[in-house]
Structure 1
Amino acid sequence: MLSGLELALILLAAATLIVVPLRRFGVPPLIAYLAVGVVIGPHAAGLAEGEGTLHAAAELGVVFLMFSLGLEFNFAKLKAMRGFVFGLGGAQVGLTAFVLMALLLLLPSVWAQWLLPGLDWRVAL
């Protein structure tokens, strides 16, 4: 088990080494950071197994991500693209709901019993 500092250093070093080559292919740095987190995280390489410090840092990273997206948000651009954004967004929601409902109808009732609570709107709140 790595300490919090060792794990942070490994994450920073890996992120730095991955971002530079991926930028040459036009991949945004944020995607590279997410890829490093997925690979080093508890579900792939297992270096961050049950690390509370890493979980807190991940939540802080989400806060910074939302902040940076808020800085780049342009209401005029959203207004100009509203048909495209809301049209495709609505289509995605509708298509996803259709596919999920079709799967629920085709699956046995045992599967539907554990899938249906996830569709409850109160669970999402």
Structure 2
Amino acid sequence: MILFVRDLTVIDFSYLCEMRGMLGESYIVDVELHGDLDDVSMVLDFSNVKKVIKKAIDQLVDHKLALPAQSAALQSGISASTHVLRFESQRGVIQMAAPEQAVVAIPAAKIDEHSVSDYL
């Protein structure tokens, strides 16, 4: 059985792009769940699904700066709970320091809906 949930939540975040520099994005989250029906003919309780997925998104990506960790344009490190980075985009160099919890390193060469989805 497949349960498809449209417009479950929205992810708002910023990210670094080699071509365009620092950008902001909002993704509408759709979820597809696969499983067998339980004794009350449900795959999962929708109220629980929404809470668990929303909590994970909030903790991992929402309102953070997403870094393409595998990009050659990125140099970054953490010092004393501060994320320090240098990013060389085609529009110029971005240098910044931010609290560690404000940044997420996505294991990809670029940030897009596929790399964010795979990360989550």
Check whether TM > 0.5. Answer: no
After TM superposition, the score normalised by the length of structure 1 is 0.22
Structure ranking higher in strand proportion: 2
- Relative to total residues, which structure has the larger helix share, 1 or 2? 1
- When the two structures are superposed, what TM-score results if normalisation uses the length of structure 2? 0.23
Larger Rg: 1
Bigger relative contact order, structure 1 or 2, given CA contacts below 8 A and separation 6+?
Answer: 2
